[in-house]
Structure 1
Amino acid sequence: MPATRRLSSRALTIAAAVVAALALLPVVYLLIRAGEGGASHAWDVLSQPRTLEVIVNTVGLTAAVTVGSMVLGAPLAWLTIRTDIPGRRLLTVLLALPLALPSYVAAYAYVSFLGPRGLLQSWLEPLGVERLPSIYGFWGAWFVLTIISYPYVFLTVRAALRRMDPSAEEASRTLGQSALGTFRRVLIPALRPALASGALLVALYTLSDFGAVSMLRFDAFTRVIYIRYGLIDRSGAAVLALLLVALAIVVLVAELRSRRAGAAALHAGARRVCLHSLGRWRWPAFTAAMTVFTVGAALPVGVIGLWLVRGISAGEPLRLTGELVGNSLQAATLAAVAVVVAAWPIALLAARHQSRTTRMLESASWIGYALPGVVVALGLVTFGARQAPVVYQTMTMLVIAYLVMFLPLALGPMKASVQQVNPAWEEASRTLGHGPVRTFTGVVLPLSRPGVLTAGALVFLTVMKELPATLMLAPPGFSTLATQVWSATSENFYGRAAAPALALVVLASLPTALLALRDEIRPSRPGRPGGPPQQPPGPSQPADREPGRELAAVASR
């Protein structure tokens, strides 16, 4: 390996180690807290039958939500990228909209609509329906978390599909494979890294979610940990939180093993793909996609709108100010920029410099996403008060909390995009005399742009609705739309919560709309797959502006 390449790898490793150390701060706090109670207290907590029940509940819910999200998200990504389904741009925005809903708001909306004495039951009462089945418990939690989590798979797979070279699929069809055979033997293996990343995001989100399981009265780890903290048994809560970390590590190991078989993902092609014609299935496919959107976003937003109407009718003030909107935008923007920047060293290492150290750093960066927000916040409160009082109760500490919690949201799509950048283009850039920085900014960054945009949008969306860390770490007097919604709903003032909740949905949909406009597939040039290749630009011809086009030609020679 050349000296410059070794130096670049070493610098990336140092930067990634700093990021991983930040992500592990809450785990260090948990170890300290768990040790304060002594070994006997820890064993008492672990040996309780209740602990085994919570483990089974959490593992079962996580597996069910992950499978459900993949079943919904992956086909929808393929429909909006590779087919001529009507309204692809609009569908991309609508299908990602459930990410804008805080889990506790979505859970209450579904409870108030589908609950035993909810709106639907009141509408059916004239027909003799006196009570609907209970939505509380496992099935209610699975339904709510799946319908608001599938966009993680949808957006991650969509970014991978956009940059995938279609030549292998075309070769498969030319050799006589059917569409189904090509999908199973070519497309699925190539998408395995993106599928694994999306599934990992869903699994860790489910492990760390507090709002939905609490509202739906399902005893997962997060709810039990929160109750123990409320009972001032912080040592016992830390022991349970360490079990949650162990579950997250199990999920990480499973994801790493499943990824190895799909490590040789197809690289980004120099041309774009043609869209598959759905024929008579265009409108049925559109109807199915719109049904998912209706259930996942339109229904809860409609219930929120009903809160707003009822609140206004009852004389409830809207309580939506420019300061709340500005604070939410400020926090989300700062977090998106910080997390994307911090994810680059780990994403580059994982995609280009695989080693045992790289795998350890990558795995460590995912841990914070599996921890309840209250645990991350308490860990950083302890660290800030004792070790870094300068940043305690400042915006810097709040952004660090967001980085610890949401780094995996950026790491997954960014790594998948970097893996699809042909390494030969980077080598060609180095051959032409460009250094590591110039190669990164001129080749890797432009070609990885879909993954970077997806990463920033995911972080922005998630920070907009994040609650526990914002409540505990925000500077004095700093209130966001999410905290306003929580304070109102916790006191059962749902009309008061409606306006900020609707503002959350509107603001969170903006980055998704930008992604849809920038990532929309155009037909391949010169018009169809397999057509005559374009001539390279001559001295008097302007070069194609697609990043890496010229370097790809150099590498091919």
Structure 2
Amino acid sequence: MTVSLSIDASALPTLPLRRQRHLAGRAMLLLAGAVAFGALLPLGFILWIAIDTGWQTAFALIWRPRVGELLVNTLLLELCTLPPTILLAVALAWLTERSDLPGAKTFAWLTVAPLAVPAFVQSYAWVSLFPGFHGLPAATLISVLAYLPFLYLPVAAQMRRLDPALEHAAASLGHSPQRVVLQVVLPQLRLAICGGSLLVGLHLLAEYGLFALIRFDTFTTAIIDQFQSSYNGPAANMLAGVLVLSCLGLIGLEWLLRGTARYARLGSGAPRPAPRHRLGAWRLPSLALPLGFAMLSLGVPVLTLSRWLLAAGGAAWGQPALAQAVTETLGYAALGALAAAAAALPMAWLSVRAPGRASRVLEGCHSYLGALPGVVVALALVTVTVRIALPLYQTTATVILAYVLMFLPRALVGLRAGIAQVPVELERAAAALGRSPAGSLLAVTLPLAAPGVAAAMALVAMGVSTELTATLLLAPNGTRTLATEFWALTGELDYAKAAPYAVLMILLSLPMTALLHAQTRKSLGA
């Protein structure tokens, strides 16, 4: 008996290539799982401390008048800051994106520019100019000025996307312009407003330097004061637990307010660019709003810094510690950016190339860190290193690990966007030519995704260069960064010597702020 076999030669490499892709996916899954396990450390720390302390002691530490005071302060801060921030952000977005305001593009940039000014530098500018400016009113005003860009950016982006056909239809039915804005425009901005408000609210919960300078007590200031004054681990850790619960409550509230309505346009064709509304007689008076915001958010820091630099003269720039602070800041920023990008890479690849239930769970473990205050991450690492790995306490490795955990979501977003723009067929072609999965990633994917990778690393580096709380708690003795030296000098009320450090932090942040603004407009064709 003769048996003839026919083999399709084109199918020969199929099994090996599929096996390579399968092995690559499993390897990335394992790596992403290891990073996710590390990312769960702060959350596990909160549960571990509660159990280790004992529920009765934990309850006694939480159920104190001091905790009640901090909760009231937190609630008042959120209630006093978020409504004016929302109103101002929506008004500024409408003026710069949907009206014929003179110099609209310039004012759009000036509204985003305060991102380059760290919040604690804003506070320093106001306190040094008005020494008696303290308490809730000061906290509210400075918070609005420092954090409004986080809400303005998504609202302005959504404004540019709105389809004017809905507004035209409402106007044709006899609705007044005010009613069109309230019933047609604002409902379509709900997602942007909720998302931006959540980001601002989380920053209010996590901020330390801003509120410490104006002597307004929050959970974060109380935790660091407790830690630095007496190293009272259980008390500080229980406050951190309440702070995490506050963050989760804020996230849950945003989820409820966001709703489940559809916002996508359904039908043939594409939405047209929205025409700019004519302000008429209000054209020049409307300039008061963006001009006023720019003068308060940028003018006051510029005036204060100029004043102190002039008072100190050239000696301010001749401080021996200044060069060391710049060098160490750049070093930490580079190491933090590289480490965060490397840690986020497996998850970014999985979310684009192998989406599934497991990858979504792991991605959630990576992303939830964006909702955790930096002080909680720092306390977790302090406790773990002191109790388990004492040689790592106050070492550079621990500081870099803190930066990775704090800025992992930033790195993940940028890397994911960059990898998504690289066709998967190019990776497969490289594999067919004999490249290993790792070789394909390094030789093909990452070079083509370089803009996204660079943007992700720059975002992390910007965060590291102005980070204060984790660096104060974890950095080795003798560490000098721009943020910590600035903080030490303001603590001594030596505002003149602190000014150069503030200027350098702003200069380091400006390029990334400009890039973020440009990329936001470019991605939307503006």
TM range (shorter): 0.7 to 0.9
State how far apart, in whole Å, the 2-side matches of 1:452 and 1:115 are.
43
Aligned partner of 1:87 in structure 2 is 103
State how far apart, in whole Å, the 2-side matches of 1:9 and 1:282 are.
57
State how far apart, in whole Å, the 1-side matches of 2:456 and 2:102 are.
26
Q: Counterparts in 2 of 1:331-342, with a 5 A limit?
A: 331-332=332-333, 335=336
Letter in 1 for 2:144: T
Aligned partner of 1:251 in structure 2 is 250
Q: Counterparts in 2 of 1:37-48, with a 5 A limit?
A: 37-48=53-64
Q: Counterparts in 2 of 1:508-523, with a 5 A limit?
A: 508-520=509-521
Aligned partner of 1:22 in structure 2 is 38
Judge conservation of contact 1:33–1:238 (CA < 8 Å) in 2: yes
Letter in 1 for 2:256: R
1:206 Cα deviation after fit? 0.7
Over 3 Å counting, the alpha-carbon distance change for 1:258 and 1:328 in structure 2 is same
Aligned partner of 1:97 in structure 2 is 113
1:255 Cα deviation after fit? 2.0
Over 3 Å counting, the alpha-carbon distance change for 1:279 and 1:336 in structure 2 is farther
Deviation string 1:386-440 (CA, Å, 9 cap, x unpaired) is 767897766554343223224456778999x99xx9xxx99x999xx999x99xx
Judge conservation of contact 1:368–1:376 (CA < 8 Å) in 2: no
Over 3 Å counting, the alpha-carbon distance change for 1:152 and 1:83 in structure 2 is same
1:265 Cα deviation after fit? 4.7
Over 3 Å counting, the alpha-carbon distance change for 1:50 and 1:318 in structure 2 is same
Over 3 Å counting, the alpha-carbon distance change for 1:249 and 1:139 in structure 2 is same
Aligned partner of 2:165 in structure 1 is 170
1:316 Cα deviation after fit? 5.1
Q: Counterparts in 2 of 1:433-444, with a 5 A limit?
A: none
State how far apart, in whole Å, the 2-side matches of 1:412 and 1:192 are.
22
Over 3 Å counting, the alpha-carbon distance change for 1:80 and 1:393 in structure 2 is farther
Task: Compare 283-292 and 452-461 and name the one that shifted more.
Answer: 452-461
- 1:136 corresponds to 2:134: yes
Judge conservation of contact 1:308–1:498 (CA < 8 Å) in 2: yes
Aligned partner of 1:403 in structure 2 is 404
State how far apart, in whole Å, the 2-side matches of 1:493 and 1:396 are.
31
Q: Counterparts in 2 of 1:177-326, with a 5 A limit?
A: 180=178, 183-229=181-227, 230-262=229-261, 264-265=263-264, 273=273, 276-280=276-280, 281-312=282-313, 318-319=318-319, 321-326=322-327
Task: Compare 87-96 and 303-312 and name the one that shifted more.
Answer: 87-96
Judge conservation of contact 1:376–1:401 (CA < 8 Å) in 2: yes
Over 3 Å counting, the alpha-carbon distance change for 1:365 and 1:472 in structure 2 is same
Q: Point out where structure 2 has 5 or more consecutive residues left out of the alignment.
A: 1-17, 431-436
1:501 Cα deviation after fit? 0.8
State how far apart, in whole Å, the 1-side matches of 2:316 and 2:525 are.
54
State how far apart, in whole Å, the 1-side matches of 2:276 and 2:517 are.
19
Over 3 Å counting, the alpha-carbon distance change for 1:293 and 1:342 in structure 2 is farther
Aligned partner of 1:502 in structure 2 is 503
Q: Aligned-pair RMSD on alpha carbons? A: 4.9
User: Which of these two proteins has the greater Rg computed from alpha carbons?
Assistant: 2
Task: Compare 73-82 and 195-204 and name the one that shifted more.
Answer: 73-82
Over 3 Å counting, the alpha-carbon distance change for 1:486 and 1:231 in structure 2 is same
Letter in 1 for 2:112: A
1:95 Cα deviation after fit? 1.9
State how far apart, in whole Å, the 1-side matches of 2:367 and 2:469 are.
20
Counterpart of 2:40 in 1: which secondary structure?
helix
Deviation string 1:170-203 (CA, Å, 9 cap, x unpaired) is 2541563665555445544444333222211111
How many residues align? The count is 490
Over 3 Å counting, the alpha-carbon distance change for 1:395 and 1:70 in structure 2 is farther
Task: State which of 124, 141, 155 in structure 2 corresponds to 1:108.
Answer: 124
Letter in 2 for 1:240: L
State how far apart, in whole Å, the 2-side matches of 1:482 and 1:295 are.
22
State how far apart, in whole Å, the 1-side matches of 2:463 and 2:333 are.
8
Task: State which of 74, 79, 82 in structure 2 corresponds to 1:66.
Answer: 82
State how far apart, in whole Å, the 1-side matches of 2:278 and 2:189 are.
21
1:245 Cα deviation after fit? 0.8
State how far apart, in whole Å, the 2-side matches of 1:264 and 1:223 are.
40
State how far apart, in whole Å, the 2-side matches of 1:251 and 1:413 are.
25
Q: Counterparts in 2 of 1:359-508, with a 5 A limit?
A: 362=364, 365-367=367-369, 369-373=371-375, 375-384=376-385, 397-407=398-408, 459-474=460-475, 478-508=479-509
Judge conservation of contact 1:136–1:218 (CA < 8 Å) in 2: yes
Counterpart of 1:218 in 2: which secondary structure?
coil
State how far apart, in whole Å, the 2-side matches of 1:285 and 1:454 are.
35
Judge conservation of contact 2:366–2:409 (CA < 8 Å) in 1: no
Deviation string 1:64-110 (CA, Å, 9 cap, x unpaired) is 32333222223323444444434344334322232333333322321
1:498 Cα deviation after fit? 0.7
Over 3 Å counting, the alpha-carbon distance change for 1:409 and 1:357 in structure 2 is closer
Letter in 2 for 1:60: L
Letter in 2 for 1:149: Y
Judge conservation of contact 1:103–1:212 (CA < 8 Å) in 2: yes
Judge conservation of contact 1:245–1:367 (CA < 8 Å) in 2: no
Q: Point out where structure 1 has 5 or more consecutive residues left out of the alignment.
A: 117-134, 526-557
1:138 Cα deviation after fit? 1.6
Letter in 1 for 2:273: V
1:259 Cα deviation after fit? 3.2
State how far apart, in whole Å, the 2-side matches of 1:504 and 1:202 are.
21
Judge conservation of contact 2:112–2:517 (CA < 8 Å) in 1: no
Judge conservation of contact 1:201–1:409 (CA < 8 Å) in 2: no
Counterpart of 2:143 in 1: which secondary structure?
helix
Deviation string 1:281-327 (CA, Å, 9 cap, x unpaired) is 444434311210111121023112212222228x5554274553344
Judge conservation of contact 1:172–1:182 (CA < 8 Å) in 2: yes
Over 3 Å counting, the alpha-carbon distance change for 1:140 and 1:396 in structure 2 is same
Judge conservation of contact 1:393–1:476 (CA < 8 Å) in 2: yes
Task: Compare 451-460 and 77-86 and name the one that shifted more.
Answer: 451-460
State how far apart, in whole Å, the 1-side matches of 2:28 and 2:196 are.
24
Aligned partner of 1:131 in structure 2 is none
Counterpart of 2:134 in 1: which secondary structure?
coil
Structure 2 length normalisation: TM-score? 0.74
